[in-house]
Structure 1
Amino acid sequence: MKIFKKILNTGLILIVVSALFVWWSNTTIESDTEAYNSFNINDIPKEKVGLVLGTGKTLANGQPNLYFNYRIEAAVELYKAGKVQYFIVSGDNSKKNYNEPEDMKLALMEKGVPENHIFEDFAGFRTLDSVVRAKEIFGQKELVIISQKFHNQRAVFLAQQNGMTAYGYNAKDVNKAMGFKTNLREKFARAKVYWDMFFGVEPKFGGEKIQIP
């Protein structure tokens, strides 16, 4: 019986510590990036490159993915306002018939962005990879990141931790019911940011340098 109580108490302590760690991670990342994220395009400084973070064009049920559509709309707004000249579209291309960078590139072109102003990063498997590779592979130490606010907060924080100056232009978010799972997953993803920092996790792939004019 005593052993059972010890196991129970230890389990409860771990749960409490883990919950506090998740809360602290989220609070810190939000506070450290608050001044660098905005829904107002006038708050975003002019930079040469915008980094569009990847997501699938459609959902598992075949319906359009609003996260994708809203990110493309936000990217086009930046381009037409003269806030960025080029884009890195970074996402997952690890499965057959699934190509986030190519889908984003085609969507941007349909909205009027010239093809030679779009650079594809096919190894953006995680936000960490996309951000660090923008610096290490594409040579960008200053950029604008395009995604939803909850995602931009983590991405901008990662950029800051890697010696970059980044601003997040917040794309329109989906309604709370539709985005519940995504937002919940984000809470734990922020805790993992510190885990990755502690263990020195790096992008999965490197590669040859790509020069943006």
Structure 2
Amino acid sequence: MSGLDSVTDEDWLGSWLMREAWRLLRWPLRLLGALSILLAGWLLWLVVAIQIDGGRHSTRNADVAIVLGAGVTRGEPSAAFDARIRHAVDLYKAGRVHRLLMTGTAFGREPAEALAGRDRAIALGVPPQAILIETQSWTTSMNFSEARKVMQANGAKTALVVTEPLHMMRSLRMARDLGMDVAGEPTPATFYQDWGSWYRFLRSEILLYHRYLAYGY
């Protein structure tokens, strides 16, 4: 065999191997591409849905405003929690709700979130008898399961959910999956204004939403 024949045979073999590799990988690569497009579309829809629910304020009235706990520091509600409490108080004073329902347990040596929320609402002018509390929950899903018990015990049937805008979609999904009649009332102000903090909170919400879909909490 001449040197020219050897080169030609090697070129043919290389070309054949490339064709066979493409034939074997063509459909897996196409499937991977299709799945990537579907995943990107799902994530885009989720981001848009989170933004829409976070910017939608209800026009309805309700029996209670459920205020989701958001941390207590040195006995005082965190800035995010305080914003939720103040918005709920505004709803009460505007006659949109008959009572407030504070949620959240204690962490460490701090008082329960619900108790700190109740004290802040009283300081803002809400009568103590207009405030319900539950102090057993430490996750968003538990906030609603415990709040539902309190509502049932007090004859309340409808609720406005008060929380951060980016937190609203997951919160409403959890409440409605429990059969609760709720609408969203996101806080007018958010503490995630800059791009970095907004992105981190949004990423967290996306991950937690998928955890809820997979595990139910």
Q: Same fold (TM over 0.5)?
A: yes
- For 2:114 and 2:44, how far apart are their aligned partners in 1? 28
Which structure carries more helix by proportion? Answer: 2
Determine helix, strand or coil for the equivalent of 1:96: coil
- What number of residue pairs does the alignment pair up? 178
What are the superposed Cα offsets for residues 49-75 of structure 1, whole Å, 9 maximum, x if unpaired?
11000011339xx99732122111211
Please tell me whether the aligned partners of residues 25 and 194 of structure 1 are also in contact (alpha carbons under 8 angstroms).
no
CA 1:193–1:29 in structure 2 vs 1: closer, same or farther (change >3 Å)?
A: farther
Determine helix, strand or coil for the equivalent of 2:81: helix
CA 1:87–1:57 in structure 2 vs 1: closer, same or farther (change >3 Å)?
A: same
Matched, 1:86 2:99: yes
- The code of the aligned residue for 1:128 comes to S
Q: Could you say which residue in structure 2 is the equivalent of 1:46?
A: 61
Deviation at 1:24, TM superposition (A): 3.6
- The code of the aligned residue for 2:130 comes to H
What is the TM-score normalised by the length of structure 1? Answer: 0.70
Determine helix, strand or coil for the equivalent of 1:167: strand
Q: Give the aligned CA root-mean-square deviation in angstroms.
A: 3.4
Q: Could you say which residue in structure 2 is the equivalent of 1:173?
A: 190
Please tell me whether the aligned partners of residues 29 and 153 of structure 1 are also in contact (alpha carbons under 8 angstroms).
no
Flag the structure with larger Rg.
2
Deviation at 1:93, TM superposition (A): 1.4
CA 1:25–1:79 in structure 2 vs 1: closer, same or farther (change >3 Å)?
A: farther
| Correspondence list, 1:61-76, <5 A | 65-76=78-89
What are the superposed Cα offsets for residues 101-123 of structure 1, whole Å, 9 maximum, x if unpaired?
11111110111011111111111
Matched, 1:107 2:120: yes
CA 1:72–1:87 in structure 2 vs 1: closer, same or farther (change >3 Å)?
A: same
Determine helix, strand or coil for the equivalent of 1:170: coil
Deviation at 1:98, TM superposition (A): 3.9
CA 1:27–1:126 in structure 2 vs 1: closer, same or farther (change >3 Å)?
A: farther
Deviation at 1:137, TM superposition (A): 4.0
CA 1:157–1:27 in structure 2 vs 1: closer, same or farther (change >3 Å)?
A: farther
Determine helix, strand or coil for the equivalent of 1:187: helix
Please tell me whether the aligned partners of residues 57 and 69 of structure 1 are also in contact (alpha carbons under 8 angstroms).
no
Please tell me whether the aligned partners of residues 30 and 153 of structure 1 are also in contact (alpha carbons under 8 angstroms).
no
What are the superposed Cα offsets for residues 146-199 of structure 1, whole Å, 9 maximum, x if unpaired?
0111112111111121212211111021123455543332221111110123xx
Structure with bigger RCO (C-alpha 8 Å, 6+ apart): 1
Deviation at 1:85, TM superposition (A): 1.1
Matched, 1:194 2:201: no
Deviating 4+ runs (over 6 angstroms): none
Deviation at 1:142, TM superposition (A): 2.0
- For 2:111 and 2:79, how far apart are their aligned partners in 1? 17
- The code of the aligned residue for 1:152 comes to M
Q: Could you say which residue in structure 1 is the equivalent of 2:204?
A: 185
Determine helix, strand or coil for the equivalent of 1:68: helix
What is the TM-score normalised by the length of structure 2? Answer: 0.68
Please tell me whether the aligned partners of residues 103 and 137 of structure 2 are also in contact (alpha carbons under 8 angstroms).
yes
Q: Which residue of 42, 60, 71 corresponds with 1:56?
A: 71
CA 1:47–1:130 in structure 2 vs 1: closer, same or farther (change >3 Å)?
A: same
- For 1:168 and 1:150, how far apart are their aligned partners in 2? 12
